[in-house]
Amino acid sequence: MKRLLLLTTGGTIASIEGKDGLAPGMTAADLFNYLPHTRDYHMEYQTLMNIDSTNMQPELWVQIAETIANNYDHYDGFVVTHGTDTMAYTSAALSYMLQNGTKPIVITGSQVPIHYDKTDAKKNIADAARLACEAIAGVYVVFDGRVIQGTRAVKMRTKSYDAFESINHPYVAFIDRGEVRYHQGVPSMEKGELKLDTSLCPDVFLLKLYPGMKPELLDRIKGLYQSVIIESYGNGGIPFEKRDLLSKIKELIDSGMVVAITTQCLEEGEDLFLYEVGRKVAQNLIILSRDMNTEAMVAKLMWTLGKTKDLQEVKRIMETPIAHDLSLEHQKESG
């Protein structure tokens, strides 16, 4: 019989109606009571926090990661319940902070509170516990029967049950009536000891580009942040005519800031070298996102800056795949 640890953090799954609207109010014991009785596992539980995931912070990621690491030897798998709004950031952050493990860490939540008659919560938490019994390693999001690599989940829908998709990466598995069907075989496991690395530097600014943006904005973030991720357009270009953002970016880099370029397009990633508007940027020391999603970029950059401020080294770590967060084939194919 597997030993599982359920850690609850709040979110809609644990929410009840308060006078100001839905807010988390159920404990880990309450959620545990909704799980089906089974002989497959023995589960213990702990209420870690009780927040709407809108209130999630990098320091709380560290708390979740440390709790898992501290209990790692005592359990075979972990289920973390979490609000959906920032679940993809947390799943990515945990993927970086907890590497080289040998056990599943499964994050789930729901679109509808668990105590409602019609809810996706019961299925999601049961599926998550089911996956946590598997002999696989790493961080996964389980939602609506889909198993998604922790670095590849993106919340696509605000209300529907199929809220999450796996972006730029195959689904790991599907869970149907308690049966786990792996999509491309059981994920292979690195043999080793769990490596907990929670050094984070949250000085990461995220900027979505739009026609008409004032380049002077970037002067305001100098000193306030150590880095900026720019969600540019399409394959990844930066305007250099009229409102000249390109010169500002050069200034930022010269001042020692880390600048990363990603794209507003969810699928297929950036390809900065394709167009003049991109190649001009690429002449600078820029971090390339390849086909990483923004949630993973934010978490990875915070995690990387927690280790080094050396731009070359930051670039090396950011552009190296960790926990399947980016595919190197991606640019070979398109370039």
Chain residues that interact with ligand ASN, rule: CB under 6 A? 11-12, 52-54, 83-85, 109, 111
- Nearer Cβ to ligand ASN (109/145): 109
Set 8, 9, 12, 262: catalytic member = 12
Q: How far apart are CA 181 and CA 147, in angstroms?
A: 10
**Active-site annotation holds for 84:** yes
Contact predicate 81/8, CB 8 Å: yes
CB of residue 107 vs ligand ASN: minimum separation in angstroms? Answer: 12
Neighbours of 102 (CB within 10 A): 16
Q: Are 191 and 100 in contact (CB under 8 A)?
A: no
- Beta-carbon-side half-sphere exposure of residue 121 (alpha carbons within 13 Å): 29
Q: Does the active-site annotation cover 12?
A: yes
User: What is the Cα–Cα distance from 244 to 81, expressed in whole angstroms?
Assistant: 44
- From the CA atom positions of the chain, what is the Rg in Å? 20
State the minimum distance, in angstroms, from the CB of residue 103 to ligand ASN.
25
- Angle of CA points 269, 185, 82, to nearest 5°: 65
Residue 258's CB is within 10 A of a number of other CB atoms, namely 25
List 84, 151, 262, 294, catalytic entry: 84
Using the minimum distance from each CB to ligand ASN, give the nearer residue, 140 or 143. Answer: 143
Closest residue to ligand ASN, judged by C-beta, is: 83
To the question of whether residue 86 is assigned a binding role by annotation, the answer is: no
φ/ψ of 106, rounded to 5, equals -115, 125
Q: Is residue 84 part of an annotated ligand binding site?
A: yes
Is 53 marked within a binding site? yes
Give Cβ neighbours of residue 141 (< 8 Å, ≥ 6 apart). Answer: 87, 88, 91, 106, 107, 108, 147, 148, 149, 150, 153, 164
Q: Which is nearer to ligand ASN, 15 or 227 (CB)?
A: 15
- Count Cβ atoms within 10 A of the Cβ of residue 1 and give its class: 0-12 exposed, 13-18 middle, 19 or more buried: exposed
- Closest to ligand ASN by CB, 22 vs 274, is 22
Q: Are 190 and 99 in contact (CB under 8 A)?
A: no
Cα separation, 235 vs 275, in Å, equals 8
What is the spatial distance between Cα 236 and Cα 264, in angstroms, rounded to a whole number? 9
Annotated binding site for substrate: 53, 84-85
Positions annotated as catalytic residues are: 12, 84
Annotated binding site: 53, 84-85
